[in-house]
A and B are shown apart, each in its own frame.
Chain A
Amino acid sequence: MAMLKGVFGKLKRGLEKTRRGFVDGLRSMVTGRKLDDALIDDLEARLIQSDVGVQATRRLIERIRADYKAGKLKKGEDVLDHLKTELKAMWPEADRALAKATDGPTVILVTGVNGAGKTTSIAKLCATLRADGKSVLLGACDTFRAGAVRQLEIWADRLGVEIVRGQSGGDPAAVAFDAVNAGISRGVDVVILDTAGRLPTQNGLMDQLGKIARVAGKRIEGAPHETLLVVDATTGQNAVRQAEAFGQAAGVTGIFLAKLDGTAKGGVVIAIREATDIPVKYVGFGETPDDVEPFDPESFIDAMFALD
């Protein structure tokens, strides 16, 4: 319980940094109001403005409208509880933990489009794992972007973890192979592979991701055990395409929702969940490695409906 409290406190602090006067906006929007069409329209607008997407919003709103017409929902507060229950049910507790290898290092492959925040998110993952007493080794497979390897190196230095790097312009799959090998021989608990940002339209690069994953699987049974897609919380509906495309190319097992410390609500994870079965595992909300939390639907939804 104490841990949970700490978790919530941290997230809240992160949010407070950016949102002056954190109030439950939805609650204040619905409290004391009678449920009517106008309120339902307001709700619809709020969902759309949080990047929940047209399809998911329509489904949620239609359900509310039906329940309202059937007389099941009457007050503004009723609709809040209804919506929260509905949204929370989208992410069952069970699929939020990181997968573990049965034998040898657990391999986590980190993917995403350009500028999503992969490297910073990896630093956060490192910090969490280190706090759990796990030893970590990083594989710098982004051999494409200028400065990417150096960026990861600086983080590795700051966090005191080992790193395996390749040549700039070299084969990322070869770096992955070396990193996994190093992870085995040095007996680390977790190997995290950083990859270059790529767009779902770049077929060649998307195929390359599959190759990196296969190479890791050759050395350790079932690797990568976890393939995370880093999604920038400011992303719109293209994030759904990203989840689909990276899912197909590399078998994404979880979302790392980054940059939640701005004004973006990250509601697109609802659209992602609507279209795929990929769960959200972590949220990142700041620049320091400690600004990370396991995804908690309750506080996420609260924050989503907070007024700016």
Chain B
Amino acid sequence: MFDRLSDSFNGMFRKLSGKGQISEANVREAMEEVRTALLEADVHYDVVQSFCETVLEDAIGREVTKSLKPGQEMIGIVNERLVELLGGETQNPGIMAVSPGPTVIMMCGLQGSGKTTTCGKLAALLKKQGRKVTLVAADLQRPAAVDQLETVTQTVNQAVPKGAEAKFYGEHDKAKAYGEAVNVAVQVCKRGIDQARKDGADVAILDTAGRLHVNEELMGELRMVEKSTTPHHIFFVVDAMTGQDAVASAKAFNEKLKIDGVILTKLDSDARGGAALSVKEITGAPIRYIGVGEKIDAIETFHAERMAGRILGMGDVVSLVEKAQEEVTEEEAQKLQAKLARGEMDMNDFLKQLKTLRRMGPMKQLLGMLPGVGSAIKDLPIDEGQFDRVEAMINSMTAEERQSPKIIGPPRRRRIASGSGSEQQAVGGLVKQFDAINKISKQMAGMGAAGGMDAMRGLGAGGGMPDLGGMLRSKGSTKQVKRGVKKRKKKR
């Protein structure tokens, strides 16, 4: 998401570190690149101005020019300031618990920022923690918004079966056209919270209608909801793709409601997300959560340092490790590691790994978290279907074949290919790749991590490396994309 900004910074730092001795003018020149990058990332003009001034002062004050590694020092300063601007590395306290319940969360924001979806994601997150949630449909303006929240509640219960059932409260008959239902939402919220209390819910989430910050009447309604329900949390939901106007809306919402947390949505887009910086600067409210995908569990706690790290192209290894921990138990991981070290991983293990990896999220998102990979894959079409095909192939193998893929000769290959609807070469390729992975992992175990990396690099240079990239850019997938383009061109 912040990839392009990282690219700009990387370019700038490469330039700086290349120069033996740098002058103050060089630092200024570099700051100009930072400025452009931030503006292109949609950070508000004024925020950019003050950010660049502070960093410049800091850089000159710390005598970056005399440093042996000016580039690295500049990275340090920019990173430091960026983290600070994003709110610093504070602990997300999560959703508070109150007694007697329920804790009331009020969601607000512009139309289309993603409030209803985020309500569902938050509910799923809380349900995972074992809390009982009631979702209250207070958006009576947008046609079918009440229906949508009801469906979202069902999705939460299906996706997170454990814990107490999430409940829905809505009054379908109260829905009106835009502006006609002003203040009805206040009563719906009150009744919703009453119901939640009766049901013994721990948390009630109020999904209010999207509104423009300049609509006095509707902003007044929000204030009424706030006054009559005294929410424990007021979250402002912001689309990561928002431009310069993020400042105006955040300011207005904050003045009316004193928002105490920001949720940044649609970070799975390729938007550079500069709005995050602007909103934080204007409201002073911490960014608490980020929305990172279509699935109901695609919500994460916001981390300023990780975000800044991402900006600077340092990757987000911590997130990746956390994701992995959610999916794989320690014991499982150790078992597999031992097998890998002996070069004894079989197709069953491989399939299991593949499935686990895919449960963690789209491949592109996962790869983007690796240092240095972020910008490299941004334009790469990753064909998730390729992984389906690999799974299909393994599923078409017998138990014996899965345990020792070496026995797969031409007749077996033919059978697996027809069984999985793939080409024979594809099956052959998979077996070969699999064999190579086993060899490398055995080698790596023998050399220790550092030596292992060298081994991988060596293999890569020789062309025999079964690189993930190869899996991503299979012949089949590029062909398909091209075919589509051609057809369209013909038609027009």
Q: Which residues of A contact B382 (CB under 8 A)?
A: 203
Of A114, A207, A235, A264, the residue contacting B481 (CB under 8 A) is: A207
Question: Cβ of A237 and Cβ of B42 under 8 Å apart?
Answer: yes
Question: Cβ of A51 and Cβ of B45 under 8 Å apart?
Answer: no
Indicate whether A54 sits within 8 Å of B266 (C-beta atoms), given known contacts A207-B484, A262-B213: no
Q: How many residues of B contact A (CB 8 A)?
A: 64
User: Looking at A51, A232, A234, A265, which has the most chain B CB atoms within 10 Å of its CB?
Assistant: A234
Q: Which residues of B contact A18 (CB under 8 A)?
A: 212, 214-215
Q: Which residues of A contact B42 (CB under 8 A)?
A: 51, 236-238
Verify if B239 is at the interface (C-beta below 8 Å from A).
yes
Verify if A6 is at the interface (C-beta below 8 Å from B).
no
Question: Cβ of A154 and Cβ of B491 under 8 Å apart?
Answer: no
Question: Cβ of B147 and Cβ of A150 under 8 Å apart?
Answer: yes
Render A134-157 as a binary contact track against B, CB cut-off 8 A, 1 for contact: 000000000001111011011100
Complexed CA–CA distance, A135 and B481 (Å): 36
Indicate whether A263 sits within 8 Å of B248 (C-beta atoms), given known contacts A147-B151, A155-B143, A203-B382: yes
How many whole Å from A162's CB to the nearest CB in chain B?
17
Question: Which A residues, 240 to 299, have Cβ-Cβ distances below 8 Å to chain B?
Answer: 241, 248, 251, 259, 261-265, 268, 287-288
Render B141-164 as a binary contact track against A, CB cut-off 8 A, 1 for contact: 111110111111001000000000
Question: Cβ of B145 and Cβ of A238 under 8 Å apart?
Answer: no
9-residue interface stretch from B268-276, B326-334, B396-404? B268-276
Q: Which residue of A lies closest to B381 (CB)?
A: A203
Q: Which residues of A contact B212 (CB under 8 A)?
A: 18, 259, 261-262
Complexed CA–CA distance, A248 and B144 (Å): 32
Question: Which B residues, 92 to 135, have Cβ-Cβ distances below 8 Å to chain A?
Answer: 110-114, 117
Verify if B39 is at the interface (C-beta below 8 Å from A).
yes
How many chain A residues sit at the interface, stated as a range, is 35 or more
9-residue interface stretch from A70-78, A179-187, A209-217? A209-217
Complexed CA–CA distance, A214 and B385 (Å): 21
Question: Cβ of A45 and Cβ of B45 under 8 Å apart?
Answer: yes
Q: Which residues of A contact B112 (CB under 8 A)?
A: 114-117, 232, 259
Question: Cβ of B45 and Cβ of A114 under 8 Å apart?
Answer: no
Complexed CA–CA distance, A48 and B49 (Å): 12
Q: Which residues of B contact A164 (CB under 8 A)?
A: none
Verify if B335 is at the interface (C-beta below 8 Å from A).
no
Verify if A113 is at the interface (C-beta below 8 Å from B).
yes
Verify if B72 is at the interface (C-beta below 8 Å from A).
no
Q: Which residue of B lies closest to A236 (CB)?
A: B243
Q: Which residues of A contact B364 (CB under 8 A)?
A: 201
Q: Which residue of A lies closest to B38 (CB)?
A: A54
Indicate whether A146 sits within 8 Å of B147 (C-beta atoms), given known contacts A234-B110, A241-B270: yes
Question: Cβ of A288 and Cβ of B178 under 8 Å apart?
Answer: yes
Question: Cβ of A201 and Cβ of B244 under 8 Å apart?
Answer: no
Question: Cβ of B481 and Cβ of A151 under 8 Å apart?
Answer: no
How many whole Å from A221's CB to the nearest CB in chain B?
10
Complexed CA–CA distance, A207 and B185 (Å): 40
Render B233-259 as a binary contact track against A, CB cut-off 8 A, 1 for contact: 000000101111110110000000000
Question: Cβ of A236 and Cβ of B214 under 8 Å apart?
Answer: no
**What are 7 sample pairs from A and B whose C-beta atoms fall under 8 A apart?**
A50-B244, A201-B364, A202-B294, A237-B40, A259-B112, A263-B213, A264-B243
Known: A113-B269, A207-B481. 15 other contacts (CB 8 A): A50-B244, A51-B243, A115-B114, A117-B111, A151-B142, A199-B266, A201-B268, A234-B242, A236-B241, A236-B242, A251-B492, A262-B212, A287-B179, A288-B178, A308-B248
Closest 8 CB pairs of A and B: A236-B243, A115-B112, A147-B148, A236-B42, A146-B151, A287-B178, A150-B144, A264-B245
